[in-house]
Amino acid sequence: MSIKTFKPYTHSKRQMSVSDFSDITKTNPERSLIKVIKKKGGRNNTGRVMVRFKGGGHKRFYRIIDFKRDKFYVPSKVIAIEYDPNRSSRIALLQYKDGEKRYIIQPMGMNVGDSIMSGPNVEIKPGNSLPLASIPEGTFIHNLEFMTGKGGQLVRSAGVAAQLLAKEGDYVRVRMPSGETRLIRAACYATIGRVGNLDHENIVIGSAGRNRHMGRKPHVRGTAMNAIDHPHGGGRGRSKGNNQPRSPWNQPAKGFKTRSRKVWDWVIVSRRNKDKK
């Protein structure tokens, strides 16, 4: 994949860049593996906005991705690489020997015609899925399970990878893309390799209209609001008063820790902040 730029025939086109989609081999999704996404505009069942600045956007189908990879020891062949509007990575369409088709996240280096498999004792190569206990130390992995049998929940964005560092009994140490090191059960499955579409981070949106096509509405500053709408609002001129930076619900926005340490704190070996263990 590479990045495509434009001649600056408008102001927004000067900085805008897009993917050239040269790695895509099939444009229409597999009809048996899609379902309709109902737009909610960030609202809950009572109609109240729970997530601000969401709404609109282009219509799209959800592609059903196989995060569990639970079809063990059944050979499959990659028959297409497709674009998925719901995620930053590409997806690969697999056809198993028994005829079933499934989508997976495309790892870097996977091409049409490749054969992949999942199971406890399969070969260590990009796209194969194994339990962490069967993966050698130092291997880069993605689509990592957090709870055994639930399917991959971690390390699924374009270009990212975790690294298996060491094995300690029923757990293994894994360095996450954020730099955090944590313990994960050795029975959890992961997929070998790094997620593809590495150039995604180099794409420049370039215009507000392009964000609206993606369903992102303008993010309004608190200082531009009235006092009733935000702690930073009101006042004469551009001012937030004498308040510390806060959210609309008066939660401190800088330096105030909100992460719960009650349940999963023990699995974190070292945090992203290297000064604190």
Q: Which two tokens stand for residue 132?
A: 């962490």
Q: What is the mean pLDDT of residues 127-145?
A: 97
Return the pLDDT at 259. 76
Q: Are 71 and 64 in contact (CB under 8 A)?
A: no
Give the residues across from 192 on adjacent strands: 141
Residue 276 has pLDDT above 50, yes or no: no
Give residue 142's identity as a one-letter amino acid code.
Answer: H
* CA distance linking residue 78 with residue 128, whole number of Å: 12
- The DSSP annotation for 156-196 comes to -STT--EEEEEEETTEEEEE-TTS-EEEEETTSEEEES-BS
Return the pLDDT at 5. 94
Q: For tokens 């105030």, name the residue.
A: 256
Residue 275 has pLDDT above 70, yes or no: no
* CA distance linking residue 67 with residue 27, whole number of Å: 22
Q: What are the residues whose beta carbons fall under 8 Å from the beta carbon of 195, sequence distance 6 or more?
A: 89, 105, 106, 107, 108, 142, 143, 155, 156, 157, 158, 159, 160, 161
Q: Are 181 and 165 in contact (CB under 8 A)?
A: yes
Q: Which region holds residue 243: left if phi is over 0, alpha if psi is between -120 and 50, else beta? A: beta
Tens of pLDDT, residue by residue over 38-81, are 999 999 999 999 999 999 999 999 999 999 999 999 999 999 99
Tens of pLDDT, residue by residue over 201-218, are 999 999 999 999 999 999
Q: For tokens 């401190």, name the residue.
A: 252
**Beta-sheet strands, E only, within the chain:** 3-5, 17-19, 34-36, 61-63, 76-82, 91-96, 101-105, 115-116, 129-131, 140-142, 144-145, 152-154, 162-168, 171-175, 181-185, 189-192, 268-270
Give residue 80's identity as a one-letter amino acid code.
Answer: A
Domains defined along the chain, listed by start:
3-201 (2.40.50.140)
Task: Identify which of 272, 276, 270 has the alpha carbon closest to the alpha carbon of residue 165.
Answer: 270
Tens of pLDDT, residue by residue over 21-38, are 999 999 999 999 999 999
